[in-house]
A and B are shown apart, each in its own frame.
Chain A
Amino acid sequence: QKEVEQDPGPLSVPEGAIVSLNCTYSNSAFQYFMWYRQYSRKGPELLMYTYSSGNKEDGRFTAQVDKSSKYISLFIRDSQPSDSATYLCAMSVSGTSYGKLTFGQGTILTVHP
């Protein structure tokens, strides 16, 4: 069993839709949770970061963490064609400089006009 599971999709939605991206994990030691967006042939860019259960909102993006269920989600409201990318969840045990990230497989999202 992989430490982090993410539905690879692909996911195709119309512009304006609400998108839900999800990851489950098995390692209860994970304490820090991130969502990255990666455009084709580019490095990932950090979208959201959280370390506690609950919701965190930033503009059209909401990150949700449920540590009891080992489940995290990213919601994108009013999705735009520019949101089309691969979304990667990532987790780490430690928040220090030595805390390495474990990534999910990535979900390919396409938002069509």
Chain B
Amino acid sequence: GAVVSQHPSRVICKSGTSVKIECRSLDFQATTMFWYRQFPKKSLMLMATSNEGSKATYEQGVEKDKFLINHASLTLSTLTVTSAHPEDSSFYICSAKGLTGGYGYTFGSGTRLTVV
């Protein structure tokens, strides 16, 4: 089945630094990838939708200059949290939908970001 690899699974960074999270579709081409944020015991909140080769579409209230998304190929999307602050600490999850092969969004295993 479709596999999405997300890396790193856990990262701790200092306030003011930037962190990059990678999301790769391993055995299929992902035309569209989605980035979510999840707070403890809360549901997933969509941050942005990225389409290969074009600019990401951000949801209302999400700062595009703070959360930089790049979807340069059909198998890789990256989320960079710039100038991270403690309030950015969260669980970030990507998901991808392939070109063909039925319905269903495959999720990565998530990245736990802690900003200290």
Q: Name A's B-contacting residues (CB within 8 A).
A: 6, 8, 32, 34, 36, 41-46, 49, 51, 88, 95, 97-98, 100-106, 108
Contacts and interface: CB of A to CB of B under 8 A. Distances in A.
Contacts of B103: 32, 49, 51, 95
B109 A97 contact: no
A103 B110 CA distance: 16
* A contacts with B: majority SS: loop
B109 A88 contact: no
Contact of B104 (A49, A100, A102, A104): A49
Contacts of B108: 43
* B contacts with A: majority SS: strand
A100 B43 contact: no
B107 A104 contact: no
B80 to A, nearest CB: 19
Given A97-B31, A98-B32, A108-B41, 4 more contacts: A44-B44, A44-B107, A97-B98, A101-B105
B46 to A, nearest CB: 6
Interface of B: 4, 6, 31-32, 34, 41-44, 46, 49, 51, 91, 93, 95, 97-99, 103-110, 112
B30 to A, nearest CB: 9
Q: Identify the interface centre among B43, B44, B91, B112: most chain A CB within 10 Å of its CB.
A: B43
28 contacts: A34-B104, A36-B107, A41-B112, A43-B4, A43-B93, A44-B44, A44-B93, A44-B107, A45-B107, A49-B103, A49-B104, A51-B103, A88-B44, A97-B97, A97-B99, A98-B49, A98-B51, A100-B34, A100-B49, A101-B34, A101-B95, A102-B46, A103-B43, A104-B43, A105-B42, A105-B43, A106-B41, A108-B41
B91 A41 contact: yes
Given A97-B31, A97-B97, A97-B99, A103 B112 contact: no
